[in-house]
Each structure stands twice: as C-alpha cells, then as structure tokens.
Amino acid sequence: VDKDALDTQVKERKIQEGAEKARNEELANEMKQNDKIMCMLEERQKNDIRNINKAISEFQKNFQKPETRREFDLSDPQALKKDRPARLSDSDPRCTVSGLQKFMGEDLNYDQRMKFQKEQLREWSLQQQRDWKNALADQKFADDLHDKNRIELDQKTMEQQRKEEENRRAVCAATKDFNRTQAAELAERKKLEKYKNMKEDMDEISSLLQGDLLSENPEQAVSSFGRHRVITDRWKGMNQDQLMAIRYTQQQQVLEKQRLKEEERQRDAEWERQSIQAARAQLVLERHQQRQNRERRQALDNVNTELSQEQKSKNIYLKEEAYSNFPTGQYYAQFNTTSR
C-alpha cells in the first residue's frame, strides 16, 4: 500500500470539504441578504400603494365633487327652481343645433323679414332692368363707333398700300439698272483676269521647262551649309555610288546583328545550363533532407511505440496487481497509534 499517496488523498479530501463548506456558507449568507432585500422591497411597495390610494381619495374629494359632474342635473334637488322657458328670444344662447328649439325660417320676426325681403327683391329687379337698358345703349354706341373707326382705318390702309406699291416699282427699276451695269463691269473684269492668269501660267511653264528642277541637275540640290547636306524640295535622289555605299553599310550592320544574336544565344544557353545544374543540386539536397526527416520520424515512432507499450504494461500491473485488494479496517487501525 502506498501510504504517502493515501495521506495526500486524505489531505486533498479535507481541503475540498473545507472549500465546499466555505462556499455553502457564502451561499447561505447571500440567500439571507436577498431575503432581507425582498422583505424591504415588499414593504416599500405596500407603502407606495397605500400612499397612491390615499392621494386618489383626496383628489376625488377636492376636485371631483358631485355638483361638478355632467349628469348632476338629472338628480339635482333644485332642478325645478332653476328651470327656465325653452326659448326667450332668437338670440337665446341655449337654442343650440342639438337642442332642436329653433329651425331655419322659424324666427319670431318672420313677417317683418319676409316683407323686407320682398321689397328688396323688387328693388333688385328694377335695378337690373335699368342696368340692362344702359348696357344695351352703351353696346350700340360702341358698335357704331367701332364701325366708323374701322372704315376710316381701311381707307388709310388702302392709301398706304398704293403708295408702297409705287415706291416698290421705282426701287425695282433702279435696282434692275444698277444690276445690269454691275454685270457688264463684272464680265469685263473676269475677261481681263482670265487673260492675265493665262499669261502668268505660260510664263511659269516656260520657266519650269528651262530650269534646273525638271532638267534634274544634281548641283541645284546642294545646300549652302555643306556638300553632305541637300535641299529636300530640289533633291532628285542618290546616285549609284551612294546607293552601293548604303547597301554595304546595311550588310555590315546585318552581320554585326547576327553576331550579337549568336553571342546572346550562347550566353542564354550557358545560363540555362547553370540553372538546370542548380535545380538538380537543389533537388538532390531536398531528397536527402526528406530521407533524413523520414528516418528521424521513423526512429521517433519506434520510441513512442516502446513508451506506449511500457505505459500499457504499467497500467495493467497497477489495475490487476497493485489496486486489486481493498484495504480493511485493520489497515486503517494501524494509523495514529504513536506520537510521531
């Protein structure tokens, strides 16, 4: 029997029981505090309800007396003494629409009102007849005046149109004479211009035929800044020697470009060869590292397998051999028998 392990278990059990006891006491104290708070809240709520009811009773007593209600007149003991006739005059404020005590046309001065209305209608009718007669007379006078003014305006318009027609004929005749004169002058001017342009064209053609441009004289294209420069608007092209020199230079440039391309191709091939060798070396190194990692992982797996087997064996021993017997009362009786 492992005595140290049992002592440790007993100590841990005592510590656990003490912690549980302290937690239970703390919970009990908290429940007592909550109960006290609930009692205080219930007492406060009862006092608030009592105060509200008291305030409502005081308000009804002071501000909601029976004589201030709308239906008090149904049970008023002084109702007969306070009662008055239903209608005293047409302007009685009690004769409201909902009271049904006064309708349209049922006023007390109905006869006088009807007599006044008939007199007023008669006056209005007579006034309308007078206004109608005056309006007809005014309309007739306005029509006559309008006809007279329209006739005078038509006469003036016809006279104005006659004068404008005469002026237009005179202007057209003068314009026709002026245009005829201008046309003759324009034809003469065009004839002279055509003769002048024809003479200038003939002079220009003869000058070009006799000049250096059409005769293709190479000296006329040489620039004054040097023999190696030409005037572009007079230059007729290069001779055979210049063309051969240019073709030779182009061939040399082509050969030089081919040489440079060959050097660049060889340089690229060398770079590609070196890149392939570096990739191969990197691949060999990676395979070597993978092989080493695989060997280390296999060795670690073997060690873990051995440790697992040892752990399983130890657990089987503890389960089947060490913890197979239960302690009896005699085992516990041997403790606390000395003064150690």
Instruction: Give tens-digit pLDDT for 11-28.
Output: 888 998 989 999 999 999
Same-domain pairing of 157 and 217: yes
Does 313 map to a domain?
no
Does 24 map to a domain?
yes
Per-residue confidence (pLDDT) for residue 308, from 0 to 100 = 92
> What would the pLDDT profile of 192-201 be if each residue is shown by its tens digit?
999 999 988 8
Per-residue confidence (pLDDT) for residue 75, from 0 to 100 = 79
Same-domain pairing of 206 and 283: no
Domain end, chosen from 259, 276, 292, is at 292
Same-domain pairing of 192 and 208: yes
| Average model confidence (pLDDT) across the chain | 85
Does 247 map to a domain?
yes
Does 233 map to a domain?
yes
Range of lowest pLDDT (20-24, 155-159, 329-333):
329-333
Same-domain pairing of 275 and 231: no
Range of lowest pLDDT (49-63, 128-142, 198-212, 226-240):
226-240
109 or 250, higher pLDDT: 250
Same-domain pairing of 220 and 266: no
Domain end, chosen from 202, 237, 272, is at 237
CB atoms within 10 A of CB 218: 14
Reduce the DSSP state of residue 247 to 3 states and report it. helix
Per-residue confidence (pLDDT) for residue 260, from 0 to 100 = 95
Same-domain pairing of 54 and 154: no
What is the per-residue burial (b if ≥16 Cβ within 10 Å, else e) of 124-153? eeeeeeeeeeeeeeeeeeeeeeeeeeeeee
Q: Report how far residue 32's alpha carbon sits from residue 108's, in angstroms, rounded to the nearest whole number.
A: 87
> What would the pLDDT profile of 287-310 be if each residue is shown by its tens digit?
999 999 999 999 999 999 999 999
Find the mean pLDDT for residues 252-266: 95
Same-domain pairing of 209 and 181: yes
Query: In the structure, what pLDDT confidence band is assigned to residue 36 with cuts at 50, 70 and 90?
Result: very high
Find the mean pLDDT for residues 125-139: 93
Reduce the DSSP state of residue 228 to 3 states and report it. strand
Please compute Rg for the chain using Cα positions.
Answer: 69
Same-domain pairing of 208 and 284: no
CB 66 within 8 A of CB 72: yes
Does 230 map to a domain?
yes
Domain end, chosen from 61, 78, 99, is at 61
Find the mean pLDDT for residues 270-276: 93
CB atoms within 10 A of CB 212: 14
| Residue located via tokens 């003064």 | 339
Domains: count for the chain: 3
Same-domain pairing of 147 and 41: no
Same-domain pairing of 271 and 231: no
Does 229 map to a domain?
yes
Residue 340 in this model has a pLDDT that exceeds 60:
no
Same-domain pairing of 212 and 195: yes
Per-residue confidence (pLDDT) for residue 281, from 0 to 100 = 93
Residue 144 corresponds to which tokens in the numbers above?
A: 């006559």
Does 70 map to a domain?
no
The answer to pTM > 0.75 is no
Does 201 map to a domain?
yes
State the residue range of the domain holding 262. 243-292
Same-domain pairing of 179 and 247: no
Per-residue confidence (pLDDT) for residue 91, from 0 to 100 = 72
DSSP code for 227: E
